[in-house]
Chains A and B, each alone.
Chain A
Amino acid sequence: MSLAFHDAGLTLQGKPVLSGLNFRLDDGAQVALIGPSGAGKTSLLMLANTLARPTQGTVEPLGQNPWRLRPGPLAALRARIGTVYQTPPLPARQRVVNAVAAGRLASQSVWGSLLALLRPHDPVGVSEALTRVDLADRIWDRCDRLSGGQRQRVGIARVLYQAPRLMLADEPVSALDPRLAEDTVRLLSADARARGATLMMSLHSVDLALAYFPRIIGLRAGRVAFDLPRAAVTSELIAQLYAGEETAPAPALEPGPSALPRSAQC
């Protein structure tokens, strides 16, 4: 079993974000997660990658409950879960080579990984991963000198380099043009298939989801609206899933007066 949600729910600051989630992904499954913005797609993936703790029920990635593990086994479990984030988690000023190599930090000793900051560890392996996203020539560049789309591809290369058993992707192609988006979805899917890994990907584009994923989960208002093989997903179901008003984000609060700049404190 690669990923199992048992009656899982998430309540944040008194507001239910997700509730009553029940589904399981077998080894090697490939699932697309679709639904309107605010449906809880990102939160669901964060439950799966152990960054969020379910407030109801349990979530078991790779057959283990992360919230019952001691630090060592927890780190070992996390090392086998890879996530592509919508905003690539790349520290400014870090070089691409290290941003990708960070995918395998968990398997390195602390000292080894500190030395690797000065002298990158496995440039050959990293460059292979970068070749697959067509960025091999930027390996020695700094992340903050890349475009948004390039940064997103670096984030994907990191997960390819990590080669996890459970691969999660949160709108991994939102910053890419349609051609590249399609190539990238195909790449992740083929990589997971070749390694027998499980893939769950949230997507903005219903077309991409239907084209590349055998199973589709539709999420609406924090609940599973449908969980069906691709052939059973009708245009009617899709219309219902996205029906209703667009919820506008709350306006940002007027900021108060700013604090004394640090340079005026002595």
Chain B
Amino acid sequence: MLSHPRDPALLPRLGWTLVLLALLAPTFVYTHFNPALLLQPETLGTLGHFVAGFFPPAHEAGFLLEVARETITTLAVATAGLGMALFLGAPLAFVTTRALDLPMSAEARRHPLARGLRPILRGLMIGLRGVPEIVWALLFVRAVGLGSLPAVLALGLAYGGMLGKVYAEILESQPDGPTRALTAQGAGRIQVFFWGLWPQALPELVSYTVYRWECAIRASAVMGFVGAGGIGQLLDTSIKMMNGSEVSTLLLVFLLLVIGTEAISALARRGLESRYGSGVLAAAVATAIGASLAWLWPAWAAAGADLKALWPFAASFFPPEMGAAIWGDLARGTLETLAISILGTTLAFAGGGLLALPASGRFGMPAKAATRLLLNALRGVPDLLWAALAVLALGLGPAAGVLALALHTTGVLGRLFAETLENAPPLPEQALLAAGAGRAAAFGHGVLPEVIVQWLAYTLYRWENNIRIAAVLGIVGAGGLGQQLYLALSLFQEKTAATVIVAMLLLSWLAEETSRHTRLRLAH
């Protein structure tokens, strides 16, 4: 008699499924997310009316002129902000990277000051990039007033911390043969950097910087939602006025901007390979930053922002509010943020997985091109902008946040999933098809096991991102901690705002740890 031993994986699988369901069920409650709401006649009516207004896009000369001006401001803010981030991040990376730590005698090791300084600088960078740029912008608007200056400062600080960390990592990931050889023949730290590390790391550094500039443009385009100038300010007004034709013009301009910057950044990456490419690129960057500052300066001078006001403003956040009254609100906001991020990401996992099939070319070229276009549009519109639009459809509250996260993240994950599908080895599936399996069965048994762990890992990484975003969506009224932050700052309760920011940082740290542990489990 054959015995039928029980599958040892059965119970753990059942357990994890239950855990996931137990996590997912309350998220619907906390976010009041109800897909059926989207299909209700009155929602559809409002939306239909709004979308019908999209055609034709607004094209009065006065409006277009304003759009042009704000578009240039958006570009200038992104460029100047990235310039500031470079000035901040590059030295931070040079000092904190481990790539230049090479064998030395005990006496010759780093200066004690540098040794003590490094952990402090690393901590500073964590703080700088931990607070989302839109929150920095919100704070600077309160401190130095409306306009583009807060946007530049916000991008400079947040991206400065990010560039510092990523540059250091890029340097550490280079082959260490050249740096070790130069050290072994007596070259100093600066020499080792420029002669051994710089030549090989340059392409990756440039490509990441250019990519950050694309991010900066998207971020700069939504800074207007907190009063920090640019095209976002116009979008904010037009959305609040439910002016469909203006919104459609602005969205078109925005998508053109995103496509244009992608083209420019591709050009920059390729230019680096040519003979005088790096020289031309450096000159172009310097010119762009100079021109941006020249464009922004008149408004800053006219506003007469007083940077000295920053200190008393910063001081007003201390000590953070710890009174009993705040804890209830804080707990509710945290749970809501958590729920938005989990539900939004889960929906995006499903959406991304479904769209990845046609996007990887499984249903022919036309379907592939069309899905790619859809994914790019979903991804190209920043989450905050999706949230502003979702608030129109679902009303104020966390449900709009869920929808916004789901839409944007579907675009991101769909593209990544499609890439893993394209890179998966074709043989297992072909063998199953040749053995007579149906298409779905062949996919499920031949492809899915190959890609699913990577899909889950991507989703977890993206969830880390999303929890940060979920924490700020409240700025446009889409629930979570951001709503409380916005309220506290509007009421000049800086100490309460400080507590909310600390809660955001803790939550995002907690998410990173959870995700890291889960990914480690997945890998085994």
Q: Which one of A80, A98, A256, A260 lies within 8 Å of B195 (CB-CB)?
A: A98
Nearest residue, chain A, Cβ from B412? A264
> Is A261 an interface position by the 8 A CB rule?
yes
Check if A81 sits within 8 Å of B178, measured CB to CB: no
Would you call B299 an interface residue if the criterion is a C-beta within 8 Å of the partner chain's C-beta atoms?
Answer: no
B106: A residues at CB distance < 8 A? 67
Chain A, residue nearest B218 (CB): A266
Taking A76-B186, A89-B181 as known contacts, 11 extra A-B pairs with beta carbons closer than 8 A to each other, sorted by chain A number, are A52-B103, A70-B107, A89-B180, A91-B178, A94-B200, A102-B187, A105-B182, A110-B191, A264-B412, A264-B416, A266-B219
A102 and B184 contact, CB distance less than 8 A: no
Stretch from B244-252, B357-365, B456-464 at the A interface: B456-464
Do residues B200 and A93 form an inter-chain contact, with CB atoms below 8 A? yes
Q: How far is the CA of A49 from the CA of B211 in the complex (A)?
A: 40
Interface size on B, residues (CB 8 A): 53
When chains A and B are docked, how far (Å) is the Cα of A120 from the Cα of B12? 64
The reply to whether B185 and A105 contact each other, CB–CB distance below 8 Å, is: yes
The residue of chain B having its C-beta at the shortest distance from the C-beta of A75 within the complex is B186
Nearest CB in chain B: distance from A73 CB, A: 9
Contact A71 B108 (CB under 8 A): yes
B518 to chain A minimum Cβ distance, whole angstroms, is 11
Q: How far is the CB of B411 from chain A (nearest CB, A)?
A: 10
Contact A117 B194 (CB under 8 A): yes
Q: Does A138 contact B (CB under 8 A)?
A: no
Does B105 reach chain A (CB closer than 8 Å)?
yes
Considering only CB atoms and an 8 Å cut-off, how many residues of chain A contact the other chain? 53
Q: Which 10 A-B pairs have the closest CB atoms?
A: A106-B186, A256-B523, A78-B186, A266-B215, A257-B457, A89-B181, A79-B186, A89-B177, A91-B200, A260-B461
For residue B104, CB closer than 8 A to chain A, the reply is yes
Interface presence of A179 (CB below 8 A): no
A162 near B194: Cβ-Cβ < 8 Å? no
Q: Which positions in B face A, CB cutoff 8 Å?
A: 102-108, 166, 174, 177-178, 180-188, 190-191, 194-200, 202-203, 208, 211-212, 214-215, 218-219, 412, 415-416, 453-454, 456-458, 461-462, 465, 519-520, 522-523
Q: How far is the CB of B113 from chain A (nearest CB, A)?
A: 14
A117: chain B residues within 8 A (beta carbon): 194-195
- Which residue of A has the minimal Cβ distance to B459? A260
A11 at the interface (CB under 8 A from B): no
Does A235 count as interface, using CB distance less than 8 angstroms?
A: no
Contacting pair A78 B183 (CB below 8 A):
yes
**Contact sample, A vs B, 13 pairs, CB 8 Å cutoff:** A50-B184, A68-B107, A81-B185, A83-B185, A105-B185, A106-B191, A110-B191, A113-B191, A256-B520, A256-B523, A257-B453, A260-B458, A261-B416
CB distance B200 to A51 under 8 Å?
no
A91 CA / B218 CA spacing, docked (Å): 35
B519 & A257 in contact (Cβ 8 Å cutoff): yes
Picked from B104, B202, B461, B519, the residue with its CB within 8 Å of the CB of A256 is B519
Contact B522 A257 (CB under 8 A): yes
How far, in Å, is B271 (CB) from chain A's closest CB?
14
- Residues on B with C-beta less than 8 A from A106 are 185-188, 191
